[in-house]
Amino acid sequence: MRIAVLHDDPLLPDMIRSALERHHHICHFYTSGASLLKDTRHETFDLLISGWHLPDMDGIEVIQRLREMVGQQLPILLVTRRNEERDVIEALNRGADDYMVKPLRVGELVARVAALLRRAYPQAMGQQLVFGPYRFDPEKRLLSLHGETLALKNLEYELALFMFRNAGRLLSRAHLREAVWGERSEAPSRSLDTHVSRLRTKLQLTQQAHGYAITAIYGMGYRLDTVDTVALADPRG
């Protein structure tokens, strides 16, 4: 999963990266609330780990502004040395989903992150392989529509499975590239657009009869919608 880490502790990034990337998460690090908020206008993340005291604003303020920008789905874990009950209450009331007191215990951090992700994205974290008339076969790496096998290349299969498991979520271009291609580069690429276009055609995702359609969100990325949400005006659902 794609995780944003907002903290000014110089020792924390290496520990978090070492702990979470062993569990196949990708971490993006920020040292100021302003830089994270700016990126959130064109990027998507699966989870945020935030500190309380930052160089430019309190983590609590960042959390509150993020809730206004992206809603409630993004799970947020606050990490701080503040351990008074009133601090925990304030953090949870202002939008944090969980709270950890430093010094961090690596095993607990990994477990809390996993629990937050399971709650926020049960479909993405689970093993669901059937989505309406679409059925994935991971052993043979095949996708069928109404029982008829579709001719997909390897990356098309991976992209389709990732988008179906995250149906209803806006996924930024970089988010999709990292999840499917494993790329960390910020350089623009037309490969993603080409693969999405092919999926639209091969999976017949422009036909409402099959229950799903791909929506392009200008300046952000793509979202696989169930048919009854295609017409929603808010690009972040």
Q: Reply yes or no on whether the pLDDT at 230 is more than 60.
A: no
CATH 3.40.50.2300 residue spans of the chain: 2-120
Class of domain 2-120: alpha beta
Q: Reply yes or no on whether the pLDDT at 231 is more than 80.
A: no
Only one residue has tokens 């880490």, namely: 5
C-alpha distances in angstroms, 111 versus 11, 27, 42, 150, 226?
20, 16, 29, 38, 31
Q: Quick check: 203 and 134 in contact, CB under 8 A?
A: yes
CATH 1.10.10.10 residue spans of the chain: 127-229
**Could you read off the pLDDT of 138-173 as tens digits, one per residue?**
999 999 999 999 999 999 999 999 999 999 999 999
Confidence band, pLDDT 50/70/90 cuts, at residue 12: confident
Q: Quick check: 17 and 27 in contact, CB under 8 A?
A: yes
- Fold of domain 127-229: Arc Repressor Mutant, subunit A (1.10.10)
Q: Which of 16-25, 71-80, 175-184, 185-194 has the lowest mean pLDDT?
A: 185-194
Average pLDDT value over all residues in the chain: 90
Confidence band, pLDDT 50/70/90 cuts, at residue 189: low
Global pTM? 0.89
Give 33: exposed, middle or buried? Use CB within 10 Å, 0-12, 13-18, 19+: buried
Q: How many CA atoms lie within 13 A of 194 on its CB side?
A: 6
**Could you read off the pLDDT of 104-133 as tens digits, one per residue?**
999 999 999 999 999 999 988 888 899 999
Q: Quick check: 76 and 95 in contact, CB under 8 A?
A: yes
Q: Quick check: 217 and 170 in contact, CB under 8 A?
A: yes
- Residue 207 has a pLDDT of 66
What pairs with residue 58 in β-bridges? 53
**Could you read off the pLDDT of 47-59 as tens digits, one per residue?**
999 999 999 999 9
